[in-house]
Amino acid sequence: MIDKSVLPEHWEVRKLGEICKTVTGNTPPRNNIDNYGTAIPFVKPPQVQDKPISDAPENLSEKGTQVARVLPIGSVLVTCIGNLGRTAINKIPVAFNQQINALIPSKVLEGKFLFYQAQSPNFKNQLEKLSAATTVAIVNKGKFETINIVLPTLPEQRGIVAKLEELFSDLDKGKEQLETARQQLKVYRQAVLKWAFEGRFTNPEVKEGELPEGWKWVKIGNISPKVTVGFVGSMKDQYIDQGIPFLRGQNVKANRYDPNGLKYVSDKFHIQLSKSKISTGDILVVRSGNVGTSCVVPESLPDANCSDLVIVKKPTNTNSYYISYYLNSVVQSRIIAQKVGVALGHFNTKTVERFEIPVPDLEEQIQIVQEIESRLSVCDKVEETINQSLQQADMLRQSILKEAFEGKLIKISKTVVEMA
């Protein structure tokens, strides 16, 4: 509910259904290909991203528009199934599917004012409460129309929109710069790994395209005592609250073990799964999904087990972290380029055994790992700062929206209010 005590006295609180025409989208029959063409965009939830919208990946034909629900310019779209509360305002006529409810503003309500209010904390909170009793978040048209919004005068609405767009313009520029910096960090990380395995950190004079003196190409199968695979089978009823850690693909991130979502199995089940046992220093490689991503089993997991992952047992005379960093630097790009003889969806033990790595002596490997980690740790700290700044920007946006729809963002003269 909206707290009327915080609002200017002359502001009204009205239900959407009282001052807007609400429409739920639909999908023209797909078994008739003549419904789809190039006439107008057909909007679905992925295109609704709290921004104005003027196109979509899919379009309807003129025939399709006859059975679709087409919105006039300046309508507000709100996702109401699944990921609730994302908004858009259309700059051209669009059709939309049944996962979206749309609002066609009236003569007492500016479209952009409604668009921004639909992004405000109060609006979103009401939307979430209306969906709370359902397994899948869903708010139908009837419930949607009961949402309360504030209704100031039209001059105030326009003034609020102007101020919001002024503030958000500066905020969006700042976020764009932060996103650019984050992308630059990604490029720098890739460059660090490239330089490392070209030998540039330890051999400044190395020539382009050549291995440094003393380096050689070695197959993983020749330096690991065993390359095997984790447990492949049903885990129904095998997980317990505490026990032997059981790693899955989601626990393997590039160059690091991620304990989030870690599962556990019993000692008995662990003993039965001798093939998939893992221990400190082993290298785990994701073999389906995010193919080729690898990490080293840390010291905190001296005895564990794992699901359908490639397990490179701790290599001899080769640093495990050196291998893992190399795999993460090249494997996925080579798979995508189809240079390792494996389908993108599946990475097997034979592929890993045959995979070649440029290897210097152990002392130089350790030095290279230290050089990599020194640089990447700086990247991690910078990225953490960037992420915090982006979160603060999002929080500031919500704070601005809250102030705007409590009447605290702008002041308007009594004369203008009376004239309206």
pLDDT per position as a tens digit, 182-213: 999 999 999 999 999 999 999 988 988 899 99
Nearest-5° angle of CA 273, CA 278, CA 284?
115
Residues 89-105: tens digit of each pLDDT: 999 999 999 999 999 99
Residue 233 lies in a domain: yes
Mean pLDDT of the chain: 92
**Are both 228 and 95 inside the same structural domain?**
no
Q: Does residue 202 form part of some domain? A: no
**Residue 2: band (very low, low, confident or very high) from pLDDT cuts 50, 70, 90:** confident
- Please check whether residues 351 and 228 belong to one and the same domain: yes
Inform me whether the pLDDT recorded for 413 exceeds 50.
no
Same domain, residue pair 146 and 8 = yes
Q: Is the residue at 239 inside a domain?
A: yes
Identify the domain boundary among 342, 359, 376. 359
Contact 231, 273 (CB under 8 A): yes
My answer on whether 333 and 241 are in the same domain is yes
Q: What is the pLDDT of residues 251-294, one digit of tens each?
A: 999 999 999 999 999 999 999 998 999 999 999 999 887 888 99
pLDDT, residue 130, reads 92
The answer as to whether 160 is a domain residue is: no
The pLDDT of residue 420:
44
- Identify whether 89 is part of a domain: yes
| Predicted local confidence at residue 137, as pLDDT | 86
Tokens of 322: 């050196």
CATH number for the domain harbouring residue 258: 3.90.220.20
Q: Is 179 inside any structural domain?
A: no
Domain boundary among 312, 335, 359: 359
Q: How far apart are CA 335 and CA 331, in angstroms?
A: 6
Task: Quote the domain boundaries for residue 300.
Answer: 216-359
pLDDT at position 177 is 97
Instruction: Check residue 416 and give its pLDDT.
Output: 42
- Check whether residue 138 and residue 234 sit in a common domain: no
Residue 186 falls within a domain, yes or no?
Answer: no
Instruction: Give the predicted TM-score (pTM) of the model.
Output: 0.78
Convert the pLDDT of each residue in 292-345 to its tens digit.
899 999 999 999 999 999 999 999 889 999 999 999 998 767 765 545 655 555
Q: Are 297 and 278 in contact (CB under 8 A)?
A: yes
Residue 303 lies in a domain: yes
Q: Considering 151, 175, 208, which residue would you say is the last residue of a domain?
A: 151
Q: Are residues 269 and 347 in the same domain?
A: yes
Q: Does residue 145 share a domain with residue 32?
A: yes
Please answer whether residues 355 and 161 qualify as being in contact, where contact means their C-beta atoms are separated by less than 8 angstroms: no
Q: Are residues 139 and 227 in the same domain?
A: no
Specify the number of domains making up the chain: 2
